[in-house]
Structure 1
Amino acid sequence: MRKVGLKTGSARIAMARIVVGGAVLALAGLAGGCSSIRDHRGYLADQSLVDSVQPGIDNRQSVEKTLGRPTFESQFGQKDWYYLSQTVKAPPFRKPRTAEQTLLRVRFDQAGNVVGVDKRGMEQVARIDPDGHTTPTLGRERGLLEDLFGNIGAVGAGGMGSAPQGPGPNGS
């Protein structure tokens, strides 16, 4: 009888170690799964290539060979080229937010030569937080019960089953 008791005691210790080890692994998995996700979007800027674009020396063709096609071109006025680079963080269970942003603008003259290179950062990011979850409207506010039962008695107010009165396709 004593030998069985010893085996049961050591089995309990082994089982406790397995449970504790499993709990530690589960917590480590949760901690790793709850970290923020960093995502890079847009142009991958190489600072040495950006610095190599010189006003008065380069033109559209040389800029395209150096930096590649732009992220987008301006639609109005002079056709400036824009290279947009963003790093976005997505915390667990929350909306993604822009952590870093670089906007590189290459300006050209009428002949297609580089006039200037401008670089902007996070100061250009506008954080907009709309207020409210409902849109206010004119009129009275109705509750759930009024929405469900508000039309009872309103249909056929002249009496149930009466014919329509007045001008119209079915009236006189």
Structure 2
Amino acid sequence: MKIWFAKLGGMMCLAVALAACTPTYRNHGYIPLQEDLNNLQVGVDTRQTVDDVVGPPSSAGMLSGGDYYYVRSRIKEVGMYRPEVIERQVLAISFAPNDTIANIETFSLADGNVVPLTRRVTDSSVVSNGFLRQLLGNFGNVDPGEFF
């Protein structure tokens, strides 16, 4: 009977280990259907028409009245490994100054370029001075005439 429980426990541990290695997929974002995009005409339809036909995007250009960007991503996660983006599509709808559609473009992960993100930090002159040095350094800079 003990051997049977040991085999059952071993089989359960093996099943859990195999289940942990099964990839899981997450989908994020929204891309309008091609049938809906076929209803839009470049140079004719306006921003309001795009909002009515395909809906407003979750992100738009930085300025008010900017271009529309629809993004959809599919991410694969396997166990303890870092998640991997296996599919990304970006639909960009740009508008002319008269608020009509200027261009409709579709990009995929294969079209993308890696953009390195840098963090710029402004150097401060306070770095070499400690707290006490700053505090004591201010005693000579005080003008008693400013108090009255």
TM-score (norm 1): 0.58
Which residue is 1:124 aligned to? 112
Larger RCO (alpha carbons 8 Å, 6+ apart): 2
RMSD, matched Cα: 2.8
The Cα of 1:76 is off from its aligned counterpart by 5.7
Stretches of 4+ aligned residues off by more than 3 angstroms = none
**Judging changes above 3 Å, is the alpha-carbon distance between structure 1 residues 44 and 19 closer, same or farther for their aligned structure 2 residues?**
farther
Gaps (5+ residues) in structure 1?
1-13, 129-167
Which residue is 2:3 aligned to? 16
**Judging changes above 3 Å, is the alpha-carbon distance between structure 1 residues 33 and 80 closer, same or farther for their aligned structure 2 residues?**
same
* C-alpha contact 1:85 1:102 (8 A) present in aligned 2: yes
* CA displacement, residues 70-128 of structure 1 (integer Å, 9 cap, x when unaligned): 13222269721111111112222222221111010011112211122100001215276
Gaps (5+ residues) in structure 2?
117-136, 140-148
Partner amino acid, structure 2, of 1:65: D
Point out the structure with max Rg over C-alpha.
Answer: 1
Aligned length: 119
The Cα of 1:44 is off from its aligned counterpart by 4.5
**d(CA) in 2 for partners of 1:91, 1:72:** 29
| SS of structure 1 residue aligned to 2:104 | strand
**Judging changes above 3 Å, is the alpha-carbon distance between structure 1 residues 125 and 19 closer, same or farther for their aligned structure 2 residues?**
farther
* C-alpha contact 2:31 2:91 (8 A) present in aligned 1: no
